[in-house]
Amino acid sequence: MDALLHSISYGGTWGQAFLTAEQFIDKAAELGYDGVLLAAKRPHVSLLDCNAEARAALRERIAARGLRRVALAGYNNFTADLEHGDVPNQEIQIHYVTELARLARDLGGDLVRIFTGYEHPSAGYSAQWNLVVAAIRQCARRAADFGVTIGVQNHHDIAAGWESQYDLVQAVDEPNCKALFDAWAPALQGADIVAAARKMGSITAHTTIANYQRRPRYKYEPAVVNYTPLTPYVQAVPIEEGFIDYRAFLTALHASGFRGSVAYEMCSPLEGGGRMENLDRCARLFLEFLGRVRQETH
């Protein structure tokens, strides 16, 4: 289980400390990670900015820092803009993913993370499912030319449940299309993450990890002098302080055949704030945790 650090953790999106892609690569190596998961958008490795010279320089830097694994995190939505059928959104996004596969190859990597799609009111669920399956199949076939695996993360609405994610990968039916199965989604959905991991392990190429605590939310109702419960807020916390049992999850994944990489991400406001010292502390705590899990599973 190689440990990757997701660059979004130091991307400044939520007001946290910011590092450039080059600085982030140095940081991941300094912390002791095996590799990096690079956000394939600005301010990190956007296709608009990474020409041949920039790719060669990044690859050289990654190698010089002793990082042996590189993956790209794509940001797509295959069901976007369904209300405007004249816009070739599918072609645009398939081309984007194909070019990410080329970029991954150029950086010395072999994995591109993709999403499915947010459910759109302009079409039924089955139609959107079929659209997503067809798009991912085309992406996988094109990525194969670069020796790259397309990894489908359980993030967006289509196939967000782990059973549906399993079905989706089977429906795509391409040897280089795998699941990027994360525990946080089924955990929040109330699923048994150990049972899910036992089913998903054999088709999972990578998993990304973050842990959370639930913070109850309420709306005050003055007419009844009481509160109406709302959907809880989810607060990111250090790896072993949240409600998700990652030791059990990773053990079950490994037992069912998973031999892929594991990334740590800080992709929402983090308890303790976004100062560099807090980000680094949480990143180190994850490595310590994963080291113990590695010992237990080997």
Whole-number pLDDT of residue 10: 97
Q: Tell me: the pLDDT tens digits for 177-187?
A: 999 999 999 99
Instruction: Summarize pLDDT for 196-239 with one digit per residue, the tens.
Output: 999 999 999 999 999 999 999 999 999 999 999 999 999 999 99
Identify the DSSP state of 117.
Answer: -
Q: Which strand (E) or helix (H) includes residue 228?
A: strand 226-237
| pLDDT (0 to 100) of residue 298 | 79
Q: State the CB neighbour count (10 A cutoff) for residue 14.
A: 14
CA atoms within 13 A on the CB side of 140: 21
Q: How confident is the model at residue 120 (pLDDT cuts 50, 70, 90)?
A: very high
pLDDT at 35 over 90: yes
Kindly report, residue by residue over 61-110, the tens digit of the pLDDT.
999 999 999 999 999 999 999 999 899 999 999 999 999 999 999 999 99
pLDDT in tens, 156-165: 999 999 999 9
Give mean pLDDT, residues 32-60.
97
Contacts with 251 (C-beta within 8 Å, 6 or more apart), sequence order? 293, 296, 297
Taking residues 262-279, report their average pLDDT. 96
| Alpha helices (runs of H) in the chain, residue ranges in sequence order | 21-31, 52-64, 89-106, 125-144, 162-172, 184-189, 193-200, 246-255, 276-297
**What is the 3-state composition of the chain as percent helix, strand, coil, each rounded to the nearest 5?**
40, 20, 35
pTM recorded for the entire structure: 0.95
The conformation of residue 208, written as its DSSP 8-state character, comes to E
Helix 125-144 / helix 89-106 crossing angle, nearest 10 deg = 30
